[in-house]
Amino acid sequence: MSEKKYFTRMGDGSIVYMTAEEIWEDMRAGMDDAVDRGKIPPLSEEELQKIFDIVTMPGGVVGVNPIDAVVTTSDSGSDKIPTKCGIPISRDTTAMIHERVLGCDSVDIGNPDYNYKTAKGIAKREAGILKLALDKTTLPLYYGAMPNLGFYTKPDGPVDNWAELLPQGKIKEALAAQEEAVEHSVNDILFVAKQTYEVGADAIELDTSGAAGDADFLAALKACEKITQKYPEMPVIIGMAGEFVLGMHGKLEYDGQRLAGLYPHKQVKLAEKAGASIFGAVVNTNCSETFPWNIARVCTFMKATVEASNIPVHADVGMGVCAIPMCENVPADVVTRADKCLIEICRLDGL
């Protein structure tokens, strides 16, 4: 009689069937990878057993007890319906849909060109849309975009492109370009923060902080610090990009801590120091590995992050991160299992 196999998926969404032994092997391997890279404690046997039980649970959708439900934040949430689904409705309407139809706990107003450099140029218009939505909605509503330091490089921006300078061996020039871009980015973020604060934004989100490397993360931290000082009534949400800060500069520090190479459990401490209210943590999904491998790895990192943090931690459970497959239509079977693991094992504050 052949051994029982369980339905699951690869990190790219492909369906696979695995035996219990294979699932356990992958879970341990994923966990060990996180322990090795992050220098963090492993999960307990009990926690691994819980992950196994969730991965192998029958049903297309799994859930948690209502009393254990957590809250949700989003990134470019109000833009998804018009942009991704091609339904041409205004962003204040999509905010209402998120509130009244989808039951979201919060939502952001974001521009389709989702970065602060663009948003700065149209900040008052963005604030106008936000104000319309704030009048109509009850749920917390904030403005979100990415620092995305890469947009400040020529020809799109004023500084030299360090991604071209570095391979040419022009290290000094590349580092100086990144440092200059940080200042431009902080100014733009602060300008947008002012406009959105003045119309009543419940928060501002600095999404995918670190996407362009350590200088990008520094821009987010510096901007957060300035926003919380200037507008104490407007909380800041800092969301991560990749699972560690890419060292494009290598020497940048915040509060005496070098930024390059930091994993989520270290990044959250700096976000806290900068004054952030919520930290959106990310662990990359490895498309060549299975869901059991990925989710065990994610839980190991997330647990360490939640334990290290004094502020709420929301796991970013979107396409390609936190064990969610890299595909446009994410399958509910994997998403709900990932959510359940993150809530019950890692004690996340939100998703």
Partner 1 sequence: MTREEALKLAFDSVVECDEDMARKALAAGDELGIAPLELLTEGFGAGIKHLGDLFGRGEIFLPELIFSTEIMQLAASAIEEKLGSANTSAKGKMVIGTVEGDVHDIGKGIVAALVKSNGIEVYDLGREVPADVFIEKVKETGAGFVGSSALLTSTMTVQKEIEKKLQEAGLRDQVKTLIGGAPVTKRWADRIGADCYCEDASDTVDYILAQLGN
Partner 2 sequence: MGGVRTTGDMVMRLQLSKKMRIDEAKRYVADKLGLTLEEICDVVTMSEVREERGFGLGHQEPCTESTMGMEAKFRIAEALDIRINSVERFKEHAGIK
User: Which residues of this protein are in contact with partner 1, per CB under 8 A?
Assistant: 11-14, 37, 150-151, 156, 161, 163-164, 166-167, 169, 171, 174-175, 212-214, 244-251, 260-263, 286-288, 319-320, 326-328
Contacts of 247 (CB under 8 A, 6+ apart): 213, 214, 260, 261
**Considering only residues 283-322, where is the footprint of partner 2 by CB under 8 A?**
310-312
Which residue number, 35 or 71, has a Cβ lying nearer to partner 1? 35
**Considering only residues 64-83, where is the footprint of partner 2 by CB under 8 A?**
66-67, 69-73
**Distance of closest approach, residue 171 Cβ to partner 1, in angstroms:** 5
In degrees and rounded to multiples of 5, residue 71 shows phi and psi of -95, 160
Contacts of 308 (CB under 8 A, 6+ apart): 265, 266, 268, 269
Which residue number, 57 or 287, has a Cβ lying nearer to partner 1? 287
**Considering only residues 264-283, where is the footprint of partner 2 by CB under 8 A?**
277-278
Which residue number, 195 or 284, has a Cβ lying nearer to partner 2? 195
How wide is the angle at C-alpha 248 spanned by C-alphas 290 and 153, nearest 5°? 110
**Distance of closest approach, residue 150 Cβ to partner 1, in angstroms:** 6
Q: Which of 206, 246, 335, 348 binds partner 2 (CB under 8 A)?
A: 348
Which residue number, 1 or 67, has a Cβ lying nearer to partner 2? 67
Find out whether 39 and 56 touch, Cβ atoms under 8 Å.
Answer: no
Which residue number, 120 or 226, has a Cβ lying nearer to partner 1? 120
Does 180 help bind partner 2 (rule: CB under 8 A)? no
Residue 134 near which of partner 1, partner 2, none (CB within 5-8 Å, type-dependent):
partner 2
In degrees and rounded to multiples of 5, residue 205 shows phi and psi of -115, 130
**Distance of closest approach, residue 25 Cβ to partner 1, in angstroms:** 21
As to burial, measured by CB atoms within 10 angstroms (0-12 exposed, 13-18 middle, 19+ buried), residue 330 is middle
Residue 197 near which of partner 2, partner 1, none (CB within 5-8 Å, type-dependent):
partner 2
**Distance of closest approach, residue 113 Cβ to partner 2, in angstroms:** 25
**Distance of closest approach, residue 56 Cβ to partner 1, in angstroms:** 24
* Residues linked to residue 315 through DSSP beta bridges, in sequence order: 281
Q: Which of 29, 57, 122, 139 binds partner 2 (CB under 8 A)?
A: 139
Rule CB under 8 A: which residues touch partner 2?
Answer: 66-67, 69-73, 99-101, 103-106, 134-141, 197-203, 233-235, 237, 277-278, 310-312, 347-350
